[in-house]
Chains A and B, each alone.
Chain A
Amino acid sequence: MSKHKKTSEIIIQIDGKEVKTAEGMTVLEAAQSADIFIPTLCHHEKLEPYGACRICTVEAEVRGWTKFVAACLYPVEQDLVVRTRSEKVDKIRKMILEFLLAHAPYSPQLQDLAQEYGADQDSFEKESSFCILCGLCVRYCAEVKKKNAVGFVDCGARREIRFIPEISAKECHSCKECFPLCPTSFLQAAFVLTESLAFLRDSSPTALKK
């Protein structure tokens, strides 16, 4: 969460509308304050901005220079002009959705956005990992619960989430607060898999006790 210093007021323009913001705010926060919708997938108000899904990409124009930035991270600055919808922005969002639908075609959140942006869920060959690696579970567990029971392993195309058996056997049964955050059905499956394969018998309440 960004710390809003109420020191100086910054006026920016979003979709032609003047928006009063303060130093330290992000474009996403500014847009939300003015009831302008920018889609997000990996963003959560309780968590640090992450900038991984890039669905919140917008066009930002500063001093005549236009670039594509992640609204959840980009800090407001004087004379900033933001366009939340443009041909290129929509094209980026459409393709990001098609990338993700190849992994998780049945995510309601993705399906809703797909309709808005005309994304075809069959654009790319299916590779049903079901996880879109938004990291909400990982970051919630680390930042809010401070347990790190679930984390990312590996990198690049092999990146995935894993529950850490030693920690999650102790912590997860009484928590499970990350479950409703998951935009797909993968998180619970990953948990159940870890539970059945790797939990120590006597530390798991659901496992058969001697």
Chain B
Amino acid sequence: MLKTFPKGGVHPAENKISADSPIKKLKLPEQVAIPVDQHMGAPAKPLVSKGDKVRTGQKIAESAGFISTNIHSSVSGTVLKIDKVMDTTGYKQAAIIIKVEGDEWDESIDRSEDIVREFTAGPEDIVKKVLESGIVGLGGATFPTHVKLSVPKGKKADVFILNGAECEPYLTSDHRMMLEKGEELLTGMEIIMKALDVNKAYIGIENNKPDAIRHLEKIAADHKDIEVCALKTKYPQGGEKQLIKTLTGREVPSGGLPVDVGAVVHNVGTTFAVYEAVQKNKPLFERVVTVTGTGISGPSNFLVRIGTPVSALIEAAGGLPADCGKVINGGPMMGKALNTIDVPVTKGTSGILVIDSKGSNRREVQNCIRCARCVSVCPLGLEPYLLMSLAERSLWERCEQENILDCMECGSCSYTCPSARPLLDHIRLGKATIINLRKAKQK
């Protein structure tokens, strides 16, 4: 029997229509806008100013704290200005705008296609390199990777998990990476295992990607410490807590971190970036982005420089269809709707999904019929119907007692509700209010 997490989950139509298109390099745009706040934590501090010449891979903004990271230029050219531009969050944020004049890479970067398997770097060197290279979680959470690689004092990790579940419908970037960059991923895993000082690793892949499972099983045969595991296709299999539970049987405690149960999880794209940083000296300035959706004539997986406008990606995949309701940054379950496609691709952009006008309509909300489907699909054992009704009545303390802060916003409840009730909208409101109330109390 296939492994999966024990409670909850849904199975939306997979729609992996771009799964067979190999990763293509997207041509450089005329101009890039690289936001200084692309990660969780403090925004990076710009190191360049108007008129500076920069090269591809050059550090242009530096980490401003432990939870923060560096940012590198994705092109060579001239800094036009540092200005506020709309980014994928829908807010205007500071970004370094560079006029593209070419693609001259910093000469310290190894641009060859050779796979470098041997490495000598020790744990500290690896963590330093990862921070230096500006690597963050590329699954969408954008948590700085060097923080996750530094196991806190008094805690011990004993297992590393490569998250190849890619449980969001439509998205295929990790799938393509596993097929095309398998060797690099295995080396990236060995590097991460070295940094964490663990001897055991799993690769968790949903069984709707049998070619990726076969390929990695084959090439991982001589890595005795790495085990490839086929997982049942069930959303949110790729949720960190669900993946750890599935593969190790351990439950990350409420409010705790994966390392509390000795596990560290990294996404496929992140692990590849670690390989490139340590073995090729290449900082994170490009990533694979799936461009897909209803009406997209050429669903694709592009290797895209950070800062490229989303509109350029959509253009390269055949253009925005006439019937377009929403454009999503990410997958359909957890992605964020964009209010304009004139925003730059950032480190957290795993996919661009177009949804037609009809699919963008929310259905009419009806009374709760207390069918309890939201309770049975919640992978965290919460009661979404209750949280919504408590949040509607501003009963924040009760919300807290009912563990509202455990919610990871996977959306299974809203997805499954037969009355089309906006459960997750209200839960988000409750979470945000409680966090703000806590902050106010501390002051």
A and B interact = no
B-side residues, CB < 8 A to A, are: none
